[in-house]
A and B are shown apart, each in its own frame.
Chain A
């Protein structure tokens, strides 16, 4: 149980285009999902908290208009990187919270974004 699927696993795009990443909880309902960013040899940095049916909460320094998050259902959250630039190239990982107090996070496999 507690499987989180993330798609795509790898995407290459041209500078200025937008990219959408999907995060699905396959065998449970997740009212809360999280989006992280990870640079090579570094740890995960939380970008935003995504709550089903409401606006996402962004961490300080994360541009809301650049990283659009939609959590339209209990099993799907999406992250759209708008007008991507080479500096947005990174490893993006989502997680979904589960448990009685929803405090255990299970992670997707991640999406490697390369912006040319």
Chain B
């Protein structure tokens, strides 16, 4: 059975204190791994998609990396506006699940001034 596990569940950071979020996955054929940011009461906002091990993508203070078993989202020198829940999702190559996303439970990040 496909599984997506995110850790930690919650993370409290001081402004400027860099850290990493983990997303480990067990799927039968990865098509893509996605990172989203979700603010309270809002829909997820697309951040990155990664397709193959070794791939890295960056956007402002965020950097996502991918291995064959997990992905990391690095937050460098975070600011209070980076506070959100970060969701990891996987998409598999199975025909009957084409396009579907399976989400992890998310990591709630709070950045204090």
A-side residues, CB < 8 A to B, are 2, 4, 6, 32, 34, 42-46, 49, 91, 93, 95, 97, 102-110, 112
Contact in complex: B101, A105 (CB < 8 Å)? yes
Chain B hits for A46, CB < 8 A: 100-102
Query: Can you list 5 A-B pairs with a CB-CB distance of less than 8 A?
Result: A43-B104, A44-B101, A46-B102, A105-B46, A109-B43
Min distance, Cβ B89 to any Cβ of chain A, angstroms? 8
Report the separation of the CA atoms of residues A6 and B46 in the bound assembly, to the nearest whole angstrom. Answer: 16
Pair A34/B87 contact, Cβ less than 8 Å: no
How many residues of chain B have a CB within 8 Å of chain A?
Answer: 21
Binding site for A on B (CB under 8 A): 31-32, 34, 36, 41-46, 49, 87, 91, 99-106
Contact at B106–A43, with CB atoms within 8 Å? yes
Check if B41 sits within 8 Å of A103, measured CB to CB.
no
- Chain A residues within 8 Å of B42, by CB: 109-110
Partner of A110, one of B43, B46, B49, B103: B43
Query: What are the residues of chain A within 8 A of B31 when measuring CB–CB?
Result: 103
Instruction: Name the residue among B43, B46, B105, B106 with the largest chain A CB count within 10 angstroms.
Output: B43
Min distance, Cβ B21 to any Cβ of chain A, angstroms? 14
Cα A42 to Cα B41 with chains together (Å): 12
Identity of the chain B residue whose Cβ is nearest the Cβ of A94 in the assembled complex: B43
Residues of the A chain whose Cβ atoms lie less than 8 Å from the Cβ of B44: 44, 93, 107
